Each structure stands twice: as structure tokens, then as C-alpha cells.
């Protein structure tokens, strides 16, 4: 079996463009939480020299002069589009590993001549484009690392290779590696690239020619395995199920500063409810809750506090987690304080059903069914269709600023686009 890696070009921007044709051909920036920095840039925006993470306030003149389109992060849309393109991918392969929001590894059979199945890869690319509208690139190779490198090369050689590169051919690898910088290889960061430079290793070809034992001395066993993989020797197996998180944090800046305890409590409740929802998604329960709230650290006497408690028995019930988070607000609150951020973290996560129970705790046998019903309704009809009363109703001034957020085109019935 060969490895394949498919990624979506400028994923956040591509998602936005599927439902808003006015964004086609214009420079587009998708902004971070709070609308502060650029976290995704269209090709047109990159052509103007906009860097990843560039602050918006420093680019106001550029944005206005060249007609940039700005969008707040729409994570609900991006997550659903990720689900959709992986669903199309699953029609061609039974083995998929979701690597990130815009990338997935998969497996395909090797052809009788020892090469990757480029025809199927092109069909995958065409089907994703036809069914989701998302433009993709695919790299194929005998190892995971080679498929990642092939994917990177396909970006640089889009016009030559048509979005698909197969690195099963050792001679093709040799020719392409000679001009591919070593710091473009997956797993080679800036610090490691600097350590390799005095050894004369500047290209991927140089790295592939490195003695594996020397690689271990320079960059531990990780670099040794990477060198072996560049030479077609697989060193790890496919992980179909992503590793479950050991902790879960939900922390956000406020859209506007908070100076009332009622507002801080409601904000904390919303974050605690979201954290509980996240650990339920992966089938975990938490044994420890941490909550914090603070003000602007650049201002004198800014409030700052943190509290923690044990959850016994471990739970993922939003009602229990929210109740403790709400109590923490009472002990953290400072009269006259102005708060700019709060959040919660759930720790000591274990698989539900394998947690250490409490002999003396009262067990609510209806809790699991209630949470399952709530999650099912919210998944079907959109987030917060059903929520705890203590979380409040509708948008609030302290919600994270997303003033330029596009509609939930694919996850809310009232926001589905209508063709006329």
C-alpha cells in the first residue's frame, strides 16, 4: 500500500469562497479570534506580502487601498467542510487519518509497476472539487514522509504536475529533492535546519543522503527515522483513530471588557459547557476542573485569579461542570475589577466507563441520556439549539469579537443559502 496526503488549498479562504462568489479573484484574509490577526490568506493577499499572523491594525492602509475582503473565523463552517471532503475521500479508500483541519492521509494500493495510483488520486481530487468545491493537492509516496514532501512539491509545481505528484520513483525523488530546501521537509524546524547547515545539508537530497546513525546523533531517533523514510523505508504505521486529548481547554478573549459579575459568570458557564461538549465528543470524562479570569495585564492592578476543584466521580455532564465553574466565579471576582478573558480547562481525562468511581457519590443515571439528547439536537439543528439556561440566550457583548463572520451556510437551517 502507498501513502497519500491530500490537503485543501488555502482551506479557510476556499471554504468562504464556496458560498460567496464576490470573494473570487480578490485578496481575502480570514482573521483570528477577536479579528486581530490574519490566520489565512488567499493567493492574492500573499502576493501583496501579507504574512501569517500579521496584525490587522498595521495593514489598514493596504487593506483599504487594494480592496481586501476580511472575514472572521467561521470554525463551524470549516469543521463541516472538513467532514465533507473526508467523506468524499472515504469513497475511494477505507484507510483515512485526519491530520489537521485541511489535511488527511490515506492509503491506496501500489500498481504492479511499483508506482502509486495517480489516476485514482486525480479522481479523488476531481470528486472533492465537484462535490464540495474545494481545490486540493495530493502527494503519493511509499512512506508517510514522502507523501508529505510530495504534497509540498505539488504546491510548487501545480502547473507542471497538475496537483498530484508520486514519489515512488527513486530517480524522480533524486531530481526533485536537489532543489527542495531541507527546512521544507516535514519535521525539520528552523532550529534543526540551522544545526544541519554546518554539515552541508541544505537540500532534501542532502538530508536523504545522510547516514541514519549520524542523523540520530544530530537530531535523535526522530531525525533518523525521517532520513530512512525519505529513502522509502517506512518507520510508522497508519493511525486511523486520532489520539484522544489528555486535557481540554476553552479560553477566549471578551469582545468587550466585563465589569459585572453576572456577565463573567455567564461567560464562564458558556466556556465550561463547551469544554464538557468537547470531551463528550471523544467519549471522555474529566476528574479535574480549572477556571481562570483576568484583566488587561498591561494595566496596573488588573484582576487575575485561578481556581481548581476535583470532579468526583469524573464526569462530562455539562450541568455538573457548569455548576462548579459558576461557583469559582464567586471566589475569583474582585469588586471594581474589569475582566478581558476567562476560560476553563478539564484535566485528568479518562475513557468514559473506565473512570475511578466514587463509592459515596450519588449517581444520576439520567445524566448520560440527557447529554446525548442535547448533543444530538445541537448536531442536527445547529450549536446552542438546546443549551443550559445559565448560559444565557443569544449573542452577548462579552462574546469573542467576530464582527465579519459569514453565515453558518451548512450547519444551520435558517442560514442555508437559497438559489433563486
pTM for this model (two decimals) = 0.78
Residue 240 has pLDDT above 60, yes or no: no
User: String of b and e for 368-404 (b: at least 16 CB within 10 Å)?
Assistant: eeebeebbeebeeeeeeeebbebbbeeebebbbbbee
**Residue whose grid cell is 448533543:** 375
pLDDT tens across 145-160, in order? 999 999 999 887 666 7
Q: Is 60 exposed, middle or buried (0-12, 13-18, 19+ CB in 10 A)?
A: exposed
Q: What interhelical angle do 318-332 and 261-281 show, nearest 10?
A: 150
Find out whether 239 and 96 touch, Cβ atoms under 8 Å: no
Cell of 257: 471588557
pLDDT reading at 315 higher than 90: yes
pLDDT digits (tens, 9 = 90+) for 348-392: 999 988 887 777 777 777 888 999 999 998 888 777 788 898 888
Closest Cα to residue 346, out of 273, 266, 267, 259? 273
**101 to 7, 10, 77, 104: CA distances (angstroms):** 9, 11, 11, 8
> How is the chain split into domains, by residue range?
2-7+77-230, 12-73, 248-391
Residues 12-73, CATH architecture: 3-Layer(aba) Sandwich (3.40)
User: In CATH, which of 3.30.1360.20, 1.10.3720.10, 3.30.70.270, 3.20.20.70 is domain 2-7+77-230?
Assistant: 3.30.70.270
Helix axes 75-89, 118-132, angle to 10 degrees: 140
User: For position 392, what pLDDT does the model report?
Assistant: 80
Q: Is 248-391 CATH 3.30.1490.100?
A: yes
CA 221/CA 195 separation, integer angstroms: 15
Length of the chain: 420
Which of the 8 DSSP states describes residue 57? Answer: G
Amino acid at each position: 500500500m502507498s501513502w497519500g496526503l491530500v490537503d485543501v488549498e488555502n482551506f479557510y479562504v476556499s471554504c468562504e469562497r464556496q458560498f460567496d462568489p464576490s470573494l473570487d479573484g480578490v485578496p481575502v484574509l480570514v482573521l483570528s479570534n477577536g479579528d486581530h490577526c490574519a490566520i489565512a490568506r488567499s493567493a492574492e493577499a500573499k502576493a501583496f506580502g501579507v504574512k501569517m499572523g500579521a496584525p490587522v491594525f498595521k495593514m489598514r492602509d493596504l487593506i483599504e487601498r487594494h480592496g481586501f475582503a476580511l472575514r472572521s473565523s467561521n470554525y463551524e463552517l470549516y469543521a463541516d467542510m472538513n467532514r465533507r471532503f473526508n467523506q468524499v475521500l472515504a469513497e475511494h479508500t477505507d484507510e483515512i487519518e485526519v491530520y489537521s483541519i485541511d489535511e488527511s492521509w490515506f492509503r491506496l494500493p501500489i500498481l504492479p509497476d511499483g508506482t502509486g495510483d495517480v489516476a485514482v488520486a486525480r479522481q479523488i481530487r476531481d470528486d472533492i472539487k465537484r462535490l464540495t468545491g474545494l481545490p486540493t493537492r495530493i502527494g503519493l509516496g511509499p512512506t508517510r514522509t514522502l507523501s508529505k514532501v510530495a504534497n509540498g512539491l505539488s504546491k510548487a509545481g501545480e502547473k507542471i504536475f497538475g496537483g498530484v505528484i508520486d514519489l515512488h520513483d527513486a530517480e524522480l525523488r533524486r531530481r526533485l529533492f536537489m532543489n527542495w530546501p531541507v527546512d521544507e521537509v516535514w519535521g525539520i524546524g528552523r532550529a534543526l535546519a540551522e544545526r544541519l547547515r554546518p554539515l552541508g545539508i541544505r537540500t532534501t537530497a542532502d538530508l536523504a543522503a545522510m547516514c541514519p546513525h549520524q542523523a540520530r546523533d544530530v537530531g535523535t531517533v526522530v531525525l533518523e527515522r525521517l532520513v530512512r523514510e525519505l529513502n522509502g523505508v517506512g518507520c510508522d504505521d497508519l493511525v486511523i483513530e486520532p489520539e484522544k486529548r489528555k486535557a481540554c481547554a476553552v479560553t477566549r478573549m471578551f469582545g468587550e471588557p466585563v465589569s459585572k459579575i453576572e456577565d463573567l459568570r455567564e461567560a464562564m458557564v458558556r466556556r465550561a459547557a463547551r469544554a464538557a461538549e468537547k470531551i463528550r465528543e471523544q467519549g471522555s470524562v474529566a476528574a479535574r476542573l480549572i477556571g481562570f479570569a483576568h484583566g488587561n495585564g498591561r494595566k496596573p492592578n488588573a484582576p487575575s485569579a485561578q481556581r481548581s476543584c476535583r470532579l468526583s466521580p469524573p464526569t462530562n455532564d455539562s450541568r455538573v461542570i457548569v455548576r462548579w465553574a459558576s461557583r469559582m466565579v464567586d471566589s475569583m471576582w474582585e469588586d471594581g475589577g474589569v475582566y478581558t478573558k476567562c476560560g476553563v480547562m478539564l484535566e485528568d481525562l479518562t475513557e468514559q466507563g473506565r473512570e475511578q468511581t466514587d463509592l459515596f457519590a450519588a449517581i444520576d443515571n439520567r445524566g448520560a441520556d440527557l447529554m446525548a439528547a442535547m448533543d444530538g439536537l445541537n448536531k442536527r439543528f445547529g450549536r446552542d439549539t438546546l443549551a443550559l439556561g445559565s448560559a444565557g440566550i443569544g449573542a452577548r457583548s462579552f462574546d469573542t469579537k467576530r464582527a465579519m463572520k459569514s453565515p453558518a451556510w451548512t450547519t444551520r437551517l435558517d442560514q442555508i443559502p437559497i438559489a433563486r
